[in-house]
A = this chain, B = another copy of it.
Amino acid sequence: MAKNLSRIRLLRKKMSENNIRAFLSASPVNVNYISNFSGGDSFLLVTPDKAFLLTDSRYTEQAREELISGVRIVLTKPNITEVLANLAKKLHIKEFAFESESFTHGQFLRLQKGVKKARFAPKANFVETLRQIKDADEIKSLRLAINSARDGYFALLKKLRAGATEEQMATDLEYLTYKHGSRPGSFWSIIGINERAALPHAPLTKKKLPSKCLLLFDWGGAVNFYCSDTTRTIFLGKPDPLMKKIYTIVYDAQMRAIEKTRPGIKASELDFAARSLITKAGYGKNFGHSLGHGIGMQVHEMPAMNAKSTAVLEPGMVFTVEPGIYIPGKGGVRIEDMVLVTKNGYEVLSQSIPKKLEDVCIEI
């Protein structure tokens, strides 16, 4: 409770600094972050001295259980537009600042048309910037999510057998992760055997596991709504020489970016640190995606971790560092860890999942 009460205070402070008298959220994650209500299809309206959860009858019981004190429940009857029109009238709201990245354009048009006495002013990443800095409770949940994913992965490795399909391994890996304390996060596992690992977002297939191959796992879980996201590339049997060489390059690039992490450095500098090493090794064109992404209640959130990012790192930020090299038709290597910015440097939250070359060469 206390944690969310302080969040709504922070939000109101930011509203005041931005001269906002009414802030409207449609993002389930932002609503949860501020109000502690974890259901869907709902809106949160915050004013300097009041707060309302606009929801429907499916969620009223849950809202009563979960909401922080001071947030009133309003049923969205007959619809959100009329409810907001009434609230605008009653509370003398002339302008709603609304989340332009969670409202669809269609929702905006309906509100603008139906709520005649108030304007709707788009506001991007307002709560998202608050969410960038994780407190101790949030970091604890992230650790629990990572540890359950790790334990699920360890359990899977123990039972890996040649002949299992990518789909079957994914189902097992997810189950074992959840058995170790997670609930599903917001993305599905990527499991790629050999050339399938060359697709950064490979869809699962019925391809069967050979006893000697390259095998990529990109998976995660969630605890208390906080997600994990890690990738390991492993070798069954003796590694293919090209893939072994690529593994070392990716590993070095990842470590270089991780070791540069500290408050005050730009996200783009970390991207450059990894990318320049890979480019120098001749594989720049085979690393097409970003270095990583912020992570928390969403698998992808702020700060942006790419060459164009303007983010400057601060203590409490958590993000992935996941360079990769992909050789179409042959294979790919990606190594992904979750990194926390500390007061003086960094902590690799997922460090207990082995990644040294000798630790990822296994026999089944």
Q: Which residues of A contact B (CB under 8 A)?
A: 38-40, 56-59, 61-62, 98, 100-109, 122, 124, 167, 170-171, 174-175, 178-179, 183-184, 188, 198-204, 288-289, 326, 328
Contact = CB atoms under 8 A, between A and B. Distances in A.
Contacts of A57: 200, 288-289
B106 A122 contact: yes
Nearest to A120: B105
Contact of A167 (B98, B105, B174, B183): B183
A129 B218 CA distance: 35
A40 B199 CA distance: 13
B104 A103 contact: yes
Given A101-B106, A171-B179, A174-B175, 7 more contacts: A56-B289, A61-B198, A62-B199, A100-B106, A104-B104, A106-B124, A109-B122
Contacts of A326: 61
A122 B109 CA distance: 9
Contacts of A104: 100-105
5 tightest Cβ-Cβ pairs between the two chains A and B: A57-B288, A100-B106, A58-B200, A175-B175, A105-B108
Contacts of A39: 201, 203
A61 B188 contact: no
A104 B188 CA distance: 23
Contacts of A102: 104
Nearest to A178: B171
A204 B183 contact: yes
A334 to B, nearest CB: 11
B108 A201 contact: no
A57 to B, nearest CB: 3
